[in-house]
Amino acid sequence: MSISVLAIIGDYYHPKEAILQSLEQSLFSNNINGEIQLDLCKPDQLLKKLSARPDAVVLFTEDRVNPTDKKIYTWMTEEIANEISQYVKNGGSWLAWHSGLSSYSIDSNYTKMLRGYFEYHPDKHQVVSYKSTSDNDILPEDVSFAVLDEHYFVHCDTENTTVFLLSESIDGQSIAGWHHSYGEGKVCCLTPTHNKEGLLDSTFEEVLKKCIMWLAK
């Protein structure tokens, strides 16, 4: 089976290199059967790349282009949000990973498609424990791991999605992964992880692989 994966990764707070290493190791070092074609693009190339109908798209980039400046610019226009939504409705698959959930308008068709979004994280990184739920299609077996992380607290429309991963730290509990169908396509949202050590954690890489494989089925 040949699988085409399009990835938009990296932003001001999240260097591209560690994300790419995590993604490549998940896709190419964990015995996935078949040929994987990984294509990287920048946000301003996304509409053109979507027209090629990749099997799955991975977004690990926040909406803010310049988050530390006084005047903030964002890249996801209403047109782009609508095209993403239409791509998935027509049978595409989308993974919103970590900052791919962050700073996007909660009223956009993109966020409505995700059925959840990042709300906040504590300033100080803590050890965050992640544990799979029962009765989900991505992690049918029990999975748990713990990494020093930026603990994402999210809003999630739990009545209209399936939660497959939970998170807990000294700062509280949250949802860390959910998936659902959207039109003819699929959506998966995954909050870990921020640091290089977490991105390259072998158990996390296995979770990431299973998310992408579920999307590409």
pLDDT band at 29 (very low <50, low <70, confident <90, very high): confident
31: pLDDT strictly greater than 60: no
Condensed to tens digits (0 to 9), the pLDDT of residues 175-201 reads: 999 999 999 999 999 999 999 999 999
CB 150 within 8 Å of CB 185: no
Q: How many domains does the chain have?
A: 1
**According to the model, what pLDDT value does residue 217 have?**
86
Cα torsion angle, 86, 89, 94, 97, sign: positive
Query: Using one digit for the tens of pLDDT, what is the confidence trace for 146-161?
Result: 999 999 999 999 999 9
- Rounded-to-integer distance, Cα 174 and Cα 110, Å: 21
> At 187, which CATH number?
3.40.50.880
Structural domain that includes position 63: 2-216
- The whole-angstrom separation of Cα 29 and Cα 106 is 36
Confidence of residue 30 (pLDDT cuts 50, 70, 90): low
3-class state of residue 21 by DSSP: helix
pLDDT digits (tens, 9 = 90+) for 44-61: 999 999 999 999 999 999
What is the DSSP secondary structure assignment for residue 193, as one 8-state letter?
A: -
Start-end of H helices in 95-201? 109-114, 196-199
Distance separating alpha carbons of residues 75 and 56, to the nearest angstrom: 20
Average pLDDT over residues 198-212: 96
Q: What is the pTM of this model?
A: 0.96
